[in-house]
Amino acid sequence: MEKFETFTGVAAPMPLVNIDTDMIIPKIFLKTIKRSGLGVHAFDEMRYDRQGNELPDFVLNKPAYRQSQIIVAGDNFGCGSSREHAPWALADFGIKVVISTSFADIFFNNCFKNGMLPIELPQEQIDILMKDAEKGENARMTVDLAAQEITTSEGEVIKFPVDDFKKHCLINGLDDIGLTMEKADSISSFEEKMSQSRPWI
């Protein structure tokens, strides 16, 4: 998993509440177990018509937001069925941060495991960021995970909370496998001792 570094990017405003995992990645695309290639289908039913043509009114189809790395969303983002394909699709599209007043628990935790940062903020701060995002591609926000700060295009700084362990994992690019591999020497030492003391196992 790539390390999460401070970056400045375009934020897409998505004020819709209850954006569920089926809206993020429809069930028809869940046949794959690959993390790559799903970005083109992110928000598929909102991005395309039945003939596969882009719907110009959808925010990520607008020229200003095609390269968005941040989503400022309405309440209860990532609700619905627990599918890890949802954060896979967002990450493959290029999204690094999702900001909302609340998230579904499983989606929230899956974001961290896939290199994305979900940020929960009070509604009044979401309103500030939403308004900033609506300015388009010239309104670029900076997200600094180490300092736990979002800086708007006008220089307003908003602090955000994040679990210390999850922060450590993102900054160091550690998913569950990476965390295990940090203990590789201890695991090897334990296995060697076990093979000597209990060779029948």
| Domain assignments of the chain as residue spans, ordered by start | 7-197
Whole-structure pTM value = 0.88
Of the two residues 131 and 177, the one the predictor is more confident about is 131
Q: Which one, of 126, 81, 135, 77, lies nearest residue 102 by Cα? A: 77
Reported as a single tens digit per residue, the pLDDT across 80-109 is 988 899 999 999 999 999 999 999 999 999
Terminal Cα-to-Cα distance of the chain (whole angstroms): 34
- Mention the CATH class of domain 7-197: alpha beta
Task: Spell out the long-range contacts of 58-61 with Cβ–Cβ below 8 A and sequence spacing 24 or more.
Answer: 59/12, 59/13, 59/14, 60/12, 60/93
Q: Which one, of 67, 64, 14, 69, lies nearest residue 43 by Cα? A: 14
Of the two residues 20 and 175, the one the predictor is more confident about is 20
pLDDT surpassing 90 at residue 16: yes
Residue 182 half-sphere exposure toward CB, CA atoms < 13 A:
8
pLDDT band of residue 177 (cuts 50, 70, 90) is: low
Mean pLDDT of 62-74: 97
pLDDT of residue 100: 98
- Which DSSP category does 76 fall into? S
Query: What is the spatial distance between Cα 158 and Cα 136, in angstroms, rounded to a whole number?
Result: 19
Residues 70/9, Cβ–Cβ less than 8 Å: yes
pLDDT surpassing 90 at residue 181: no
B/e letters for 56-81, b = 16+ CB within 10 Å, e = fewer, are: eebbbbeebbeebbbbbbbbbbbbbe
Say how many residues make up the chain. Answer: 201
Q: State the CB neighbour count (10 A cutoff) for residue 87.
A: 29
Mean pLDDT of 136-158: 95
pLDDT band of residue 160 (cuts 50, 70, 90) is: very high
- In terms of phi and psi (left: phi > 0; alpha: psi -120 to 50; beta: otherwise), the region of 49 is beta
pLDDT surpassing 80 at residue 195: no
